[in-house]
Every structure is written in structure tokens, then in C-alpha cells.
Amino acid sequence: MDKPVATTRIQKRNVSIISEAALEVFSTYGFRGATVDQIAREAGLSKPNLLYYFPSKEAIHSHLLTTLMDVWLAPLRDLDASGEPLEEVLAYVRRKLELSRQRPRESRLFANEIVQGAPHILELLSTELKDLVDEKAAVIAGWMDAGRLAKAHPYHLIFSIWSLTQHYADFDVQVRAVLGPKVKDPTREAGEYLEVLFTRMLKVD
Amino acid sequence: MDKPVATTRIQKRNVSIISEAALEVFSTYGFRGATVDQIAREAGLSKPNLLYYFPSKEAIHSHLLTTLMDVWLAPLRDLDASGEPLEEVLAYVRRKLELSRQRPRESRLFANEIVQGAPHILELLSTELKDLVDEKAAVIAGWMDAGRLAKAHPYHLIFSIWSLTQHYADFDVQVRAVLGPKVKDPTREAGEYLEVLFTRMLKVD
DNA sequence: GTCTATACTGCGATAGAC
DNA sequence: GTCTATCGCAGTATAGAC
């Protein structure tokens, strides 16, 4: 809803600048906590000028959430039914953790939205997201039935991958506060830990 | 900071009613998204009357966060160095998951705060929380060194317990959207899954 | 101690000049 | 297509009657 006007090159460029600024602000302060003024300042535009490209604050937010959904789900889409099971799952974990490291703002944007009850994307969750998870959970269940992966609840396996990888983006301040300033790259440690965790969990003896 | 006035019974009762209402509203909308009007309505008081008990919106929020911190850390405090290692960890997971089930609003209150950079409790995280985790991570490391628990990064083990258990409170709408309406109690399924996960992760052969 | 009324601020959005 | 100016509203907090 409320797509931005974007036909000329200048317009496309400004829409992209605004999106970048809005991602920065929304991911830090949440929807209500963010102000259009802040986003405009971050984007280097005046407030009315910004509202020329997007009709409202809500429109910017919606635009971000929907366009980012694809990026967010790509790692799961890439889970390949014809691959080697354990390696496929571990590769998924790696891709997801890499996404948390490289795009923590996107992760926090979603986290803010979902913690508050997903008012803007509830529909997407029970359609697009559910369909994809249904499909991939079936693949994983197939591997388990074939004895190629240790048995476990496939849906909760996927939830645990989301939870553990996104934790290092969403709760970054807490992780750093607990580990102390000496640990420069918590996500690298996390990668090693998660590799061990899911191998022990899923490897067939 | 800014403790509420609470000497008489009526005052104590109202402070408690306000806290309950504020928890409901802050956990749903975050700090900025919540309004004093909403909290007052939820508490059945007029706005000025509410602001007689707490000097400001921020004071209510601080009061909630600091008083709830103890409840939140209790399960980890109860991890007993003289107990049987695997059983102690599993019991911790169970207590934490039970807390997510019974007090999802508290979990979301913290999640909102930390996702947005923990502006109000950063200090607490790097002192009280860090000290407790340091202590318990040492206990776990001791168990691993003694060969009573499979080796793994103790800090990230604790992070993974937080992450996995709180996920079912903080991301409840997403979990339910994906599982569909037929699953009435995702947390019960999660309990079984997590039992398996941490047993396979930590059991010594 | 609790209410009504209100001061004051900051925000989202629009009007209209250029 | 971008600006200045401003409207209208919602929000926090306070003054002062009862």
C-alpha cells in the first residue's frame, strides 16, 4: 500500500536514500519512537520534501518491511532438498548468522515489529512466511524419516535457528555488555558455537 | 531513581495497580509508543492522579525495569554448582521457559528495551547481569573441565538458553502464525524440543 | 489525595510560493 | 520538485479547586 512515486532517476535515488535513512531510524527507535524529522535529517532532505516521495510515515515503514521480507527469507529459500542434509542445515545457519552480522538494522526492524505484535505484517507472516516454512519443514522431516538427520521437531528446529542467529543482532548490546569490551566480534564466537550445537543436535550416529 | 511515593496501604495498592497497567502497555507498545493516557485508562485512574504517584512516564518505566530484573535473573541464580550438571542446566532451561510462558509481558518489556539499545538499563547489564553470568559461566566451565558436561562455549551456552526460551514470548505472534491455529500451546512443544536439544548438546558419552 | 482545567511542547501533515 | 510557513492534534506535565 502507498507505494512511493519513483519514475525518474532522481526520484529512484531519493526513494533509496530515504529508505536507507528510515531503516537507520526505525530500527533504532521503533515505529512510534521514530520521527519523520529524524528520518528527513538523516536523509538530508526537508520534511515536506520527504513527504513528497512517501505520503506518510506509515508508508515508509510498510515499504521497508515488505521489500526487506524477500532478503530476509532468501537464506531459507536456498535450503536445497537435494543437498546433503546436515550440511544444508549448517549452511542455512551460516547464511542466517551472516545476515545478522551484515544487516543488524534489518533484523532489529523486524524484531521491533514482531515484539509489538506485528501490526503491519501479520498477514504476511501467516501466508508467505508460513508457506515457505511449511515447505522447508517438510523437506527436513523427509530427511529425518529417511534416517539422514537425527529426529527433532522440524518447525521448532527452524525457530531455533532464527532465534539463535538473530539474537546476535537484536540483543547485541546485551551480548557485548556481558562479554565485556575484550571480545571484539561476538558473532564469530557464535558461529563456532552454533556449528557445534547443530551438529551435535542433528548428526546421526 | 524517582521512586514512587508509597507509604499508606491505598498508595501501595495504587502503585501496584499502576505498575500492572504500565507493564501491559509498555510491553505492547514500547516506551515511546506507550502513552500515559493509555496507562491511566488501563489502571482506572485519571492521568493527573497517576502522575501523583509517579513523577513521570520515565519513572514508571524505570521502576518496572529495575524491580523486574530480580525476577528475571532468579532462574540463573538458582543454578546450583553442587548439583548434577546436565540436570542443573536442563532445570534452568525449564525455569526460563516457564517464565516466558507465565510472564510474556515482562519478557517483551525487556526485549523492547534491549532491541532499542537498552538506553535505560545499559548500566545494569554490564554490572549486575555481567557479574552473575561471569559467576555461572565459571561454574559451567568447571563442569566441562571435569568432564561432566560436553565442552561448549559457556557464555554462548547461556545466551542460547536466553534466546531460545525468550523467543516463545517475544516472537509469539510469529510462532503462532507459522504453526497455525491448530497448535494451541507452542511453548509445550518447545519444552520437549529444547530438552532434546540441550541433552544432545551437553551429554557426555 | 483526587479531581478539572489547562499550559506547553513536539509531531505529522498540508498549503502555497518559487 | 523543493522550499518556508503553519495548521491541528496528541502527548506530558502542572496549577489549583475541592
Name the residue ranges covered by the structural domains of chain B: 9-60, 65-202
Q: Give the position of cell 508460513.
A: A130
Task: Give the 3-state secondary structure of chain B.
Answer: CCCCCCCCHHHHHHHHHHHHHHHHHHHHHHHHHCCHHHHHHHHCCCHHHHHHHCCCHHHHHHHHHHHHHHHHHHHHHCCCCCCCHHHHHHHHHHHHHHHHHHCHHHHHHHHHHHHCCCCCCHHHHHHHHHHHHHHHHHHHHHHHHCCCCCCCCHHHHHHHHHHHHHHHHHCHHHHHHHHCCCCCCHHHHHHHHHHHHHHHHHCCC
Contact A163, A54 (CB under 8 A): no
pLDDT at B16 over 80: yes
pLDDT, one tens digit per residue, over B96-140 is: 999 999 999 999 999 999 999 999 999 999 999 999 999 999 999
Mean pLDDT, residues B61-73:
94
Domain B9-60: give its CATH superfamily. Answer: Homeodomain-like (1.10.10.60)
Backbone angles phi, psi at A72, to 5 degrees: -70, -35
Please answer yes or no on whether B122 and A173 come within 8 Å at the CB atom: yes
Q: For position A4, what pLDDT does the model report?
A: 63
Per-residue pLDDT of chain A (205 residues; tens, 9 = 90+): 455 656 688 888 999 999 999 999 999 999 999 999 999 999 999 999 999 999 999 999 999 999 999 999 999 999 999 999 999 999 999 999 999 999 999 999 999 999 999 999 999 999 999 999 999 999 999 999 999 999 999 999 999 999 999 999 999 999 999 999 999 999 999 999 999 999 999 999 8
Q: For position A205, what pLDDT does the model report?
A: 83
Q: Is residue A45's beta carbon less than 7 angstroms from any atom in nucleic acid strand D?
A: yes
Which of A32, A114, A170 is the closest to B30 by Cβ?
Answer: A32
Q: For position B89, what pLDDT does the model report?
A: 98
Longest dimension (CA), chain A: 64
C-alpha cell at A189: 564466537
Which residues from the 9-68 window of protein chain A have CB within 7 angstroms of nucleic acid chain C? 34-37, 47-48, 51, 55-58
- In sequence order, the 6+-apart residues with CB closer than 8 A to the CB of A59 are A1, A2, A3, A4
Task: Lowest mean pLDDT of A86-100, B11-25, B162-176, name the range.
Answer: B11-25
Which of A28, A163, A200 is the closest to B200 by Cβ?
Answer: A200
Handedness of CA A108, A114, A118, A123 (dihedral sign): positive
Distance CA A158, CA A87 (A): 15
Nucleotides on chain C within 7 angstroms of protein Cβ: 1-5, 10-16
For the stretch A141-147, contacts whose Cβ atoms lie closer than 8 Å and that sit 24 or more positions apart, written own/partner, are: A142/A81, A143/A85, A147/A204
In angstroms, the CA of B148 and the C1' of C16 are apart by: 77
- Nearest CA among A39, A132, A32, A34 for reference residue A78: A132
pLDDT at B170 over 80: yes
Distance CA B7, CA B13 (A): 10
Q: For position A1, what pLDDT does the model report?
A: 45
Burial of B198 (0-12, 13-18, 19+ CB in 10 A): buried
Domain covering A65-202 assigned CATH 1.10.357.10 in the classification = yes
